[in-house]
Amino acid sequence: MKRTLLASVLAAAALRLAVLAGAGDTLAAWIQRAAVPPPAATETAAAQTESPAPAADPQAPRLAEVVTVERARSEEAVSTGETETEAAAEPTPVPADLSGGVIWHDRSGLSVDADALAAEPFTLTLSAAGPQVLIIHTHSSEAYTPDGYDSYEASDPYRTEDKTQSVIRVGDALAATLEGCGLTVLHDRELYDYPSYTGSYSRSGAAVERYLTEYPTIALVIDLHRDAIGSGDVVYRTRATVDGLPSAQTMILIGTGANGLSHPNWRENLKLGLWLQRTAEGACPGLMRPLEIVAERYNQQLSPGSLILEVGSTGNTLREAIRAAESFGRAVGAALRARMTS
């Protein structure tokens, strides 16, 4: 998914989240204004180690050889749901490190009123009667930088049909973690962006509608992606630390329909996204990148509990992404379980 330059992403005015007071309290109890300086875009990733890696596959690309692929997404009002443009850059010598605070970045053009949002109630509840969470992958073939642990046969740069090496594997980890917290999760492992990338949001959206019709107890729809962050010839690696080990970061993206398409639920989605971000960051500081508010809908009009979750970027490894998904799942799973009613 295309990201703008890092400096522009983190330069806007932001909101820092405070502690959530309770299930029926207003957002005013946990949203406050703050300014967070952006990190340096060219900071080199510090060396991080876990257990010794097996010998790297000589056929697998190294980080020094990966090519930035920037994908421009725009939602079309009629049928295809999106278009894509790819631009290949020169190989990057070293992946850059990317970190972020708990802020939101509003690039929807709506200038979201934080005070008005803070005055609105947040009353999310989950039913114990059936599945509460749906995980789906609009861009199911998105993959990570191969390393000595994991490699794959690429269908395109940073993409594979191998479900054990793509974001689908990350979705498996998130689903298992949420289920370990007492939630019932549906994980859609279908490919929606292959063989044709164009129209993938239309196809995944139709699947979401079927799930919501069959399982009306679904309160949270997570469209799980892998980000693609680059600046010029630099491929970015998001970085957090979990239990002393390197992890990717995660990011929540909320659509608004500011592009002219109907999206009556976007404020509910935003409140949910902010609550989840506060919860995850509170449990694992540094895990969350800034929440993004955008003009497009990305199927989020289908449910008041819908969002995109970006886990890591092209510069991350699959293991780093899995570690991030599990950390996110442990934090939000417990919080969601506390909101379950019989």
Reported as a single tens digit per residue, the pLDDT across 165-174 is 999 999 999 9
Give the CA count within 13 Å in the CB-facing half-sphere of 217.
14
- Residue 121: pLDDT band (50, 70, 90) is confident
- The more confident residue out of 166 and 39 is 166
- Residue 301: pLDDT band (50, 70, 90) is very high
Q: List the structure tokens of 205.
A: 């959206």
- The more confident residue out of 157 and 299 is 299
What is this structure's pTM?
A: 0.76
- pLDDT at residue 5 above 70? no
Flag the least confident range among 89-98, 154-163, 206-215.
89-98
- Residue 202: pLDDT band (50, 70, 90) is very high
Residue 258: per-residue pLDDT: 96
Q: Which of 124, 249, 135 is nearest to 186 (CA)?
A: 135
Reported as a single tens digit per residue, the pLDDT across 226-260 is 999 877 778 889 999 999 999 999 999 999 999 99
Residue 97: per-residue pLDDT: 54
Q: CA geometry: angle at 215 spanning 294 and 129, to 5°?
A: 115
Amino acid at 51: S
Flag the least confident range among 76-85, 156-165, 172-181, 277-286.
76-85
- Residue 153: pLDDT band (50, 70, 90) is confident
Residue 131: per-residue pLDDT: 97
Residue 120: per-residue pLDDT: 86
CA torsion sign, 50 to 39 to 229 to 94?
negative
- Give mean pLDDT, residues 207-217: 98
- pLDDT at residue 19 above 90? no
Q: CA geometry: angle at 226 spanning 241 and 33, to 5°?
A: 65
Dist CA 90 CA 97 (whole Å): 18
Flag the least confident range among 138-142, 149-153, 190-194, 204-208.
149-153
Dist CA 162 CA 140 (whole Å): 10
Of these ranges, 92-101, 103-112, 332-341, the one predicted with the greatest mean pLDDT is 332-341
Reported as a single tens digit per residue, the pLDDT across 47-65 is 223 333 344 333 333 332 2
Domains recognised in the chain with CATH numbers: 6-35+66-341 (3.40.630.40)
Dist CA 164 CA 161 (whole Å): 9
Contact 201, 75 (CB under 8 A): yes
Residue 229: per-residue pLDDT: 85
